[in-house]
Amino acid sequence: MPLRQMVQDKLITYPDAISTALSRDVNRYVNATEQASAFATRMLTQRANVEPLWVGFVEKPQSVSELVGVDVKGYTILIPSDAPRHVETSHAFDGGTQRSPVAADFDHVVDILNGADAVRSGELSRNGNQTVVATKNIGEEIFRAVFEVLSGKKNRSLSLISLVIKASK
């Protein structure tokens, strides 16, 4: 979140016309203004397919790059519109220590990747792309997020696929 805020704050220092043009251009491809929890709530209630939410940049690109064999320097971290719906339908209470994620849990997505306790490569996505699995202890819980590595010409990002939350004990 600090990098996202820094970029937004930087736009404020530009003259109005430039700031408006840059903001409009960024928001044409990604939603860069909404909080992750608000975005998740909206996606769960409206069920629309909209631009992904930009939540930050990959802050430790070297370690992720080594895992997936792709240079992710400058890559963004995105939450696509279908991720909250997938998490809601596929990762609810498992009868054990797993709990159903709530909208507020999506506010942790950037921290799960950038402040991960462990990061490893995952299986190929359904689209055939590399994935990264990041885990982080937050409070008394372990958050595990899976990101798809999108290395196209227009979209260079780690895009959230899945989020699972379990009690740490």
pLDDT at 106: 95
Q: Are 169 and 92 in contact (CB under 8 A)?
A: no
C-alpha closest to that of 64 among 1, 148, 143, 142 = 148
Whole-prediction pTM: 0.81
pLDDT at 18: 56
pLDDT at 56: 85
Our count of domains for the chain comes to 1
Give the structural domain span for 12: 2-167
| Backbone phi, psi, residue 115, to 5° | -120, 25
pLDDT at 40: 92
In angstroms, the CA 84 to CA 103 distance is 8
CB hemisphere CA count around 42 (13 angstroms): 16
Per-residue pLDDT of the chain (169 residues; tens, 9 = 90+): 444 455 555 544 556 655 555 444 444 455 667 889 999 999 989 877 888 888 888 888 898 999 999 899 888 899 999 999 988 888 676 778 888 899 999 999 999 999 999 999 999 999 999 999 999 999 999 999 999 999 988 788 999 999 999 998 7
Q: Are 147 and 134 in contact (CB under 8 A)?
A: yes
Strands (DSSP E) along 8-153, which ranges?
Answer: 53-57, 76-79, 98-99, 118-121, 131-138, 141-151
